[in-house]
């Protein structure tokens, strides 16, 4: 078990536990979301996700509902429901993500940029990286929603 550090869509992601560590049951990741950062709106077909905000404030759009979570607040996003995470604040935020079953870490490895440390800044999402993410996502049961945002 060794942690992996990856930048995905501008966030700094640390894979804390991957499927190989949990018998494929779940993956746990920490994501540092910069001010103004956001995941693209998307739908997971394979895994459910649970989010625990460790610091800062994040806005989640799940199935068209806007939900704000602050430090020590938890949220569940079931598979098959469109969702997006945004940091609308002026400060960074950190969230621990549990995905079940495991496997999403392989998507992050396929589309992300390796970082040398947990504190490494995220790499800004370029058009080329976004296009690559769109192409690779379906192989991992993820649909990135273009032109259809869950922001209600």
> Residue 69: its pLDDT value, please?
97
> Residue 151: its pLDDT value, please?
46
- Whether residue 152 lies inside any domain: the answer is no
User: What's the CA gap between 144 and 147, in Å, rounded?
Assistant: 10
Low-confidence ranges of the chain (pLDDT < 50): 149-152
- Whether residue 150 lies inside any domain: the answer is no
User: What's the CA gap between 44 and 137, in Å, rounded?
Assistant: 9
Bridge partners of 5? 14
Domain hosting 17: range is 4-144
- Whether residue 149 lies inside any domain: the answer is no
- Could you give the number of structural domains in the chain? 1
Give this prediction's pTM.
0.90
User: What's the CA gap between 46 and 78, in Å, rounded?
Assistant: 10
> Residue 148: its pLDDT value, please?
52
Q: What is the CATH number of the domain that holds 27?
A: 2.60.120.10
> Residue 119: its pLDDT value, please?
82
Query: Which helix (H) or strand (E) is 20 found in, with range?
Result: helix 19-22
> Residue 129: its pLDDT value, please?
87
C-alpha radius of gyration, the chain, whole number: 14
> Residue 152: its pLDDT value, please?
42
> Residue 12: its pLDDT value, please?
94
């Amino acid at each position: 078990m060794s942690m992996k550090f990856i930048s995905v869509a501008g966030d700094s992601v640390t894979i804390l536990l991957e499927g190989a560590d949990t018998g494929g049951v779940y993956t746990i990741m920490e994501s540092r979301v910069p001010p103004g950062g956001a995941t693209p709106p998307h739908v997971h077909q394979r895994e459910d996700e649970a989010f625990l905000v460790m610091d800062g404030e994040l806005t989640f759009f799940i199935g068209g509902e806007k939900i704000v979570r602050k430090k020590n607040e938890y949220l569940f996003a079931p598979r098959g429901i469109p969702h997006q995470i945004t940091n609308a604040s002026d400060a960074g935020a950190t969230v621990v993500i549990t995905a079940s079953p495991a496997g999403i870490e392989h998507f992050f490895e396929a589309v992300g940029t390796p970082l040398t440390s947990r504190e490494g800044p995220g790499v800004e999402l370029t058009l080329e990286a976004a296009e690559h993410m769109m192409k690779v996502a379906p192989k991992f049961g993820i649909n990135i929603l273009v032109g259809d945002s869950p922001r209600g």
